[in-house]
């Protein structure tokens, strides 16, 4: 029996020791004020536009804060997406961190009091002037964690938007002119169909189909619709335009052969690689493809904004947040401010990204310049309409499932609208319940 007690005592001691070690951490070198360490996390690739720009920002920060150590850790997107709440609720979190914008992510953390209110800093440092109203939407959250109003809890410094990419060589070969209106776009697609070419690449198993539907709906939408749909200002009728128009037109495009019927199970990557390989004349997708097409595509290509639309799917990029537990908040604000400076913004632009406040004259590559000019044109006219899956958590899969039904024609537009309306209404009710 004595041995049994010894084993129990040893196990208890080991568990207690492990627990106390976990609780201690290694923060002994950081003071509560006058911090000498800035812990910084983000999840951008080393060679991506933002990765390059933020490396430079860290360098500038070090020059301007001699004696402050920057502890940078590159995290995986999923790692932060799934664990942010737990991480920043502990003493192990960073002082400044890149985080996903939106109600289900930054909104949720702000509602729980886990993020620092940056309103005073935004005014003091002029971020509220640099960022257009539609870019500010993802920076501000109300007390229910709903974006678009309330205090600042994040700062975006790059953007993204959806456009039409086209293969110039295929257009020339088939005698198709670059469309400037919606009618010209459908006429161009008719020409391709008549020649046996499916004009528009898409992917039903991931975001492209939903974004195409949203672009079509936005053709009949105004800012009030976007506010109702994304910010729940008023109830949304899914059986009325613009959503009805979006679903009907999508179904019509499938019937007319503008969109391949066999793309219900295709992934975004399939759509992109088919475009790169010169198999598809056009795709409707986001600015995140830009750098890759520049690097990998052999055929001549270019892009234009979705013809006729004043509103476009797009938003700020992810945001810098300062966890409430940060011990070096002033240093975190300084770092965010550096990333907003013209030289860092230009670096994002010159590496294929979309800076939020870059001077196009500082962008050397004509293609990059066009990307940024188009973004500035949308952003300055309050034309960013966010993404269709944003309103409620888990809506992405609902839309994917719905539009797969339209692509393979197993569902009518009305049935799809019903299928996507119910989870939307339930999700909004859940959010409003708080």
Give the rounded distance of the alpha carbon of 219 from its chain centre.
21
Q: Report, in Å, the least distance between residue 410 CB and other proteins.
A: 6
Would you say 217 or 400 has its CB closer to other proteins? 400
The site map against other proteins for 53-82 (x = CB under 8 A) is -----------------------------x
Residue closer to other proteins by CB (options 265, 380) is 265
Residue with tokens 């459908």: 186
Residue 96 belongs to what H/E stretch? strand 96-99
98 within 8 A of 43, measured Cβ to Cβ: yes
Would you say 7 or 187 has its CB closer to other proteins? 7
Question: Cα 232 to chain center, whole Å?
Answer: 20
Contact between 20 and other proteins per CB under 8 A: no
Shorter beta-carbon distance to other proteins: residue 2 or 361: 2
* By CB under 8 A, residue 39 contacts other proteins: no
Chain residues 401-420 in contact with other proteins, contact rule CB under 8 A: 401-402, 404-405, 407-408, 410-411, 419
Which tokens go with 148?
Answer: 């678009």
Window 268-297: residues binding other proteins (CB under 8 A): 270
**Tally of CB atoms within 10 A around 305:** 19
CA pair distance 83, 80, nearest whole angstrom: 5
H or E element, residue 286: strand 282-286
List the beta bridge partners of residue 286: 162
Q: Give the number of residues in contact with other proteins, rule: CB under 8 A.
A: 43
Rounded to whole angstroms, the Cα distance separating 306 from 264 reads: 22
101 binds other proteins (CB under 8 A): no
Of the listed pieces 2-10, 156-164, 298-306, 359-367, which binds other proteins according to CB under 8 A?
2-10
Task: List C-alpha distances in Å: 77 to 72, 84, 98.
Answer: 15, 10, 9
Is the CB of 31 or the CB of 85 nearer to other proteins? 85
| CA–CA dist 71, 58 (Å, integer) | 10
Nearest approach, Cβ of 414 to other proteins (angstroms)?
Answer: 15
* Helix%, strand%, coil% for the chain, nearest 5: 50, 15, 35
Closest to other proteins by CB, 151 vs 401, is: 401
DSSP string, 118-145: -HHHHHHTTHHHHS-HHHHTTTEE-TTS
Q: Are 218 and 385 within 8 A, CB to CB?
A: yes
Does residue 100 belong to the site contacting other proteins (CB under 8 A)?
Answer: no
Q: Is the Cβ of residue 86 or residue 377 nearer to other proteins in the bound state? A: 86
Q: Which stretch in 43-51, 111-119, 248-256, 370-378 sits in contact with other proteins by CB under 8 A?
A: 111-119
Cβ atoms of residues 332 and 95 within 8 Å: yes
**In terms of DSSP bridges, do strands 96-99 and 37-42 run parallel, antiparallel, or are they unpaired?**
parallel
To other proteins, the closest distance from the beta carbon of 89 in angstroms equals: 7
Stretch that binds other proteins, among 21-29, 40-48, 64-72, 254-262 (CB under 8 A): 254-262
Q: Quick one: which segment of 179-187, 218-226, 257-265, 367-375 binds other proteins (CB under 8 A)?
A: 257-265
Q: Which listed residue (400, 417, 420, 424) binds other proteins by CB under 8 A?
A: 400
Piece of the chain touching other proteins by CB under 8 A; list 115-123, 314-322, 366-374, 399-407: 399-407
Q: Does 22 sit near other proteins (CB under 8 A)?
A: no
CB-wise, 240 or 277, nearer to other proteins?
A: 277
**Could you say which of 143, 262, 269, 429 contacts other proteins (CB under 8 A)?**
262
Among 87, 96, 114, 313, the residue binding other proteins under the rule CB under 8 A is: 114
Strand ranges inside 142-255, DSSP E: 151-152, 155-156, 159-167, 200-201
Q: How far is the CB of 200 from other proteins (least distance, A)?
A: 15
- Which candidate, 99, 160, 152, 98, places its Cα nearest to that of 128? 152
The DSSP code for 355 is B
Closest CA to 216 of 302, 149, 289, 308: 308
Stretch that binds other proteins, among 159-167, 219-227, 367-375, 388-396 (CB under 8 A): 388-396
Q: At what angle do helices 49-64 and 329-339 cross, to 10 degrees?
A: 130
Give the residue carrying structure tokens 């976990």.
Answer: 22
Smaller CB distance to other proteins: residue 205 or 372? 205
Subset of residues 185 to 244 that bind other proteins, contact rule: CB under 8 A: 204-205
Least Cβ distance, residue 9 to other proteins (angstroms):
12
Q: Tokens standing for 180?
A: 């400037």
Instruction: Name the residues that contact other proteins, by CB under 8 A.
Output: 1-4, 7-8, 11, 82, 85, 89, 104, 108-109, 111-112, 114, 204-205, 260-266, 270, 392-394, 396-397, 400-402, 404-405, 407-408, 410-411, 419, 427, 430
């Amino acid at each position: 029996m004595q041995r049994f007690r010894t084993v129990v005592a040893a196990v208890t001691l080991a568990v207690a020791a492990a627990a106390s070690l976990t609780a201690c951490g290694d923060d002994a070198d950081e003071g509560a004020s006058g911090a000498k360490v800035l812990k910084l996390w983000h999840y951008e690739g080393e060679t991506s536009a933002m990765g390059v720009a933020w490396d430079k920002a860290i360098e500038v920060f070090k020059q301007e804060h001699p004696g402050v150590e920057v502890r940078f850790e590159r995290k995986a997107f999923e790692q932060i997406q799934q664990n942010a709440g737990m991480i920043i609720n502990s003493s192990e979190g960073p002082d400044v961190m890149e985080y996903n914008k939106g109600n289900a992510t930054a909104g949720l953390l702000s509602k729980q009091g886990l993020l620092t209110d940056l309103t005073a800093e935004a005014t003091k440092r002029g971020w509220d002037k640099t960022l257009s109203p539609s870019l500010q939407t993802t920076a501000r959250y109300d007390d229910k964690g709903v974006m678009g109003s309330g205090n600042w809890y994040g700062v975006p410094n790059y953007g993204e938007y959806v456009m039409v990419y086209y293969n110039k060589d295929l257009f020339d070969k088939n005698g198709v002119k670059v469309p400037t209106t919606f009618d010209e776009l459908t006429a161009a697609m008719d020409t391709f169909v008549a020649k046996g070419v499916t004009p528009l690449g898409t992917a039903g198993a991931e975001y492209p189909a939903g974004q195409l539907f949203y672009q079509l709906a936005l053709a009949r939408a105004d800012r009030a619709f976007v506010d109702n749909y994304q910010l729940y200002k008023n109830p949304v009728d899914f059986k009325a335009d613009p959503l009805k128009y979006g679903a009907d037109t999508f179904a019509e495009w499938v019937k007319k052969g503008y969109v391949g019927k066999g793309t219900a199970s295709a992934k975004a990557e399939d759509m992109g690689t088919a475009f790169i390989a010169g198999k598809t004349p056009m795709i409707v997708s986001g600015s995140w493809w830009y750098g890759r097409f520049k690097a990998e595509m052999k055929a001549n290509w270019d892009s234009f904004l979705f013809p006729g639309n004043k509103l476009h799917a797009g938003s700020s990029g992810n945001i810098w947040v300062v966890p409430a537990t940060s011990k070096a908040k002033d240093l975190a604000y300084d770092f965010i401010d550096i990333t907003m400076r013209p030289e860092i913004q230009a670096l994002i632009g010159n590496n294929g990204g979309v800076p939020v406040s870059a001077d196009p004259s500082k962008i050397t590559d004509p293609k990059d310049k066009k990307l940024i000019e188009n973004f500035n044109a949308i952003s300055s006219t309050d034309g960013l309409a966010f993404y269709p899956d944003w309103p409620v958590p888990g809506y992405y899969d609902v839309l994917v499932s719905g539009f797969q039904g339209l692509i393979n024609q197993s569902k009518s537009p009305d049935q799809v609208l019903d299928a996507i309306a119910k989870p939307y209404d339930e999700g909004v009710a859940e959010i409003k319940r708080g």
